[in-house]
Structure 1
Amino acid sequence: MFFAIDLVWLGVVAKTFYRQHLGHLLAAEINWVAAIAFYLLFIAGIVFFAVKPALAVNSATRALVDGALFGFFTYATYDLTNHATMRDWPAIVTVVDMVWGTVLSGSVAYLSYQVSSRFGRTVADRFTLWWRLRTRPFKPDRRLHI
């Protein structure tokens, strides 16, 4: 969900905006390994810091607020660091990108909460269960010995 919405934003809605302000800084080709790593880590962050806590207290509002805060702080870290250290990083990009990160992350956390609360266990819960079953030491049941 996050990936799809962000691709529409970056590839259609705000494409001209970013090209206009950051075109001289953009690579000719996307580094897909880095992009995929970012999306996987960011989505895991939304689940861990917003969706799971909201499910624990059964609150869609908590998912929205925690997701928005997660997006705000993570996008602020990226944008303000770039604004502080890059020669040609425009202030308008910092503001627009931070607003986008806040709205996107809050929305995705809210929607993920809605889906998870309606359809049972979250993906993270399933992964945790799978990992625990996979990594626990095998102990044969002594009652099965013949």
Structure 2
Amino acid sequence: MNAFIRFYLLCAGIFLVFDLFWLLVVSKKMYQHFIGGLMGETKIVPAILFYLIYIAGVVFFVIVPGVEKGSLVYVLGSGALLGLICYATYDLTNLATLKDWPVMMTIIDLIWGMFVTAAASGITYWLNILLFGGNT
């Protein structure tokens, strides 16, 4: 199997488990509290597109270079940085353009983006070593 596809499938599964737990269990009440008036019905196609694109970026910019360098530290650091950049794009744009967008939710989302991207990247890196000997 092509390494990119292997990394993609591993990372997608891990990221999805983390993010579904976050969205359905941890943050559901927070979002309702902070932006309940803005929330509508979830549109599945844009959500799927986000995950497909985001995971491709994580694999391309974080996991592949980290595996090539043989560095978990690189994977965790660049995963956290990419998570910060991508989640900041969404949250800081909302903070800049939407009336009453909560600063606290922005901060929480930025921390979550850093954590989930670094964690999914790190676990993918580790599973690649465990299951495939660290090969690309």
Q: Same fold (TM over 0.5)?
A: yes
Rounded to whole Å, the distance in 1 between the matches of 2:16 and 2:38 is 22
- Structure 2 residue ranges without an equivalent (≥5): 1-13
Task: Report the counterpart of residue 43 of structure 1 in structure 2.
Answer: 55
Which has the higher relative contact order, 1 or 2, with Cα contacts under 8 A spaced 6 or more apart?
A: 2
Task: Report the counterpart of residue 37 of structure 2 in structure 1.
Answer: 24
Rounded to whole Å, the distance in 2 between the matches of 1:18 and 1:79 is 13
Equivalence map 1:116-127=2 (5 Å): 116-120=128-132
Task: Report the counterpart of residue 81 of structure 1 in structure 2.
Answer: 93
Equivalence map 1:107-122=2 (5 Å): 107-120=119-132
Higher Cα Rg, which structure? 1
Tell me the TM-score normalised to structure 2 length.
0.85
Tell me the percent identity. Answer: 40
Rounded to whole Å, the distance in 1 between the matches of 2:69 and 2:129 is 11
Deviation at 1:121, TM superposition (A): 8.6
Rounded to whole Å, the distance in 2 between the matches of 1:13 and 1:49 is 28
- Aligned residue type for 2:15: F
Residue of 21, 24, 29 corresponding to 1:11: 24
- Conserved in 2, the CA contact under 8 Å of 1:55 and 1:117? no
Rounded to whole Å, the distance in 2 between the matches of 1:113 and 1:33 is 28
Deviation at 1:43, TM superposition (A): 0.9
Rounded to whole Å, the distance in 1 between the matches of 2:45 and 2:22 is 20
- What secondary structure does 1:89 align onto? coil
Task: Report the counterpart of residue 135 of structure 1 in structure 2.
Answer: none
- Structure 1 residue ranges without an equivalent (≥5): 126-146
1:55 equivalent to 2:67? Answer: yes
Q: Which has the larger share of helix?
A: 2
The C-alpha deviation readout for 1:32-76, integer Å capped at 9, x for no partner, is: 000011011111111111110000011111111110100001001
RMSD: 1.5
Deviation at 1:31, TM superposition (A): 0.5
**Number of positions where the alignment pairs a residue of Structure 1 with one of Structure 2:** 122
Equivalence map 1:89-108=2 (5 Å): 89-108=101-120
Tell me the TM-score normalised to structure 1 length.
0.79
